[in-house]
Structure 1
Amino acid sequence: MNPLRAVTYRVFYRLPVGLRRWLVRRAVPKYIVGAVCLVRDSESGDERLLLLRQPPGRGWSLPAGLLQRQEAPIVGAARELAEESGIRLRPQDLRPAVPNAVVHARGWVDVVFEVSVPASTTTLTVDGAEVYEAAWHRLDDLPKLTRATAKLLAYYGIGPLADQPGPWAALER
């Protein structure tokens, strides 16, 4: 090990814990963490997906949002699903998607969960402000998606970018 690096580590670990945390927070890249739900229609053999049309309304997206301070991702995903679509589920009803976390190039991390619900008995409720419309869409006939949604869905082999090269392609190997 480099002698300067060894001295730096020794000094660092002798600092009080609070000061060490403060230094790390200043030096480590910051990420925004969101929770996302892939909600499938269990009655269609999971061939339909719940999508939302939100402002500015130029494309459809998934139920998602930022985590609140110290909120567990699975709790945030269930909260966002209820707020944006009216679907109220317990956090433990959600399953981690594979991959569960998707790190985007610009300091954004999405923690993704999946759930299947029966569309015919699931009431969708939107507020008209944060979400204009919620609807079920066939996987083979998706509407125009937001760019971020299309890129995220590609990690799961869904949507218009699923067959194109990208960071998600490495997951198939």
Structure 2
Amino acid sequence: MTPSVRRRKAPLLRRFVGTVFYSLPHPMRRRIVRIATPTYTLGSVVLVMDEDRTHLLMLKQPPGKRWSLPAGLLNRREQPVEGARRELAEETGIEADLAELLPALPNAVVHTNGRWVDNVFRLVRDPETTEVLVDGHEVWDAAWHPADALPDMTRATAKLLSHYGLGPLADSDPAAEPPASA
């Protein structure tokens, strides 16, 4: 026996608009949807820390007043982990296999009223043996900082790190916990 489905009648104006919209050619409908719906900025961030999570790699980028993390926007159709690996290599010279970039917990952090979403990954590297190479143009400086004494950082970086119990805003997020181990 199948359950009965009750349907509400849509208001007359809504039915009219729907009829007109669905009678338009598909490319035109797609364009209207893209104009009318919100857009999101998607990026990837890498938390590069030592095995004991006592040091964090941070970058100083133009305009160079505060520190941030290896990160960047995703290219069209690029998977978040691939974007994380690409940005990490571009900004620090550190090469990582995709399998080494583990999702942080939480893996996605939403900023600025839901319009900007960062996919966050973890990478374990030894500060003593990891060579970091910056280009001086996109990244001015890179340094390992003690996780319990991080430098002055951008507001977005501080908010992101608070989700992992790090940085100056860590105490303001009661749900914060350190990045999970694999």
TM class by shorter-chain length? 0.7 to 0.9
The verdict on how the C-alpha distance between 1:21 and 1:171 changes in structure 2, with shifts beyond 3 A counting, is farther
Normalised to the residue count of structure 1, the TM-score between the two structures is 0.85
In the TM superposition, what whole-angstrom CA distance separates every residue of 1:114-155 from its partner, at most 9, and x where no partner exists?
Answer: 111122221110111111111111111111111111111111
Unaligned runs of 5+ in 1: none
The verdict on how the C-alpha distance between 1:132 and 1:30 changes in structure 2, with shifts beyond 3 A counting, is same
* Aligned partner (choices 42, 46, 66) of residue 59 of structure 1: 66
Question: Cα offset for 1:7?
Answer: 5.8
Tell me the distance in 2 between the aligned counterparts of 1:101 and 1:6. Answer: 37
The verdict on how the C-alpha distance between 1:6 and 1:98 changes in structure 2, with shifts beyond 3 A counting, is farther
Matches within 5 A, 1:11-30: 12=21, 16-30=25-39
Question: Cα offset for 1:25?
Answer: 0.7
Normalised to the residue count of structure 2, the TM-score between the two structures is 0.81
Letter in 1 for 2:47: L
Tell me the distance in 2 between the aligned counterparts of 1:126 and 1:74. Answer: 21
Conservation of the 8 A alpha-carbon contact between 2:162 and 2:176: no
- What's 2:92 paired with? 85
- What's 2:125 paired with? 117
Unaligned runs of 5+ in 2: 1-7, 178-182
Larger Rg: 2
Aligned residues: percent identity? 56
User: SS state of the match for residue 97, structure 1?
Assistant: strand
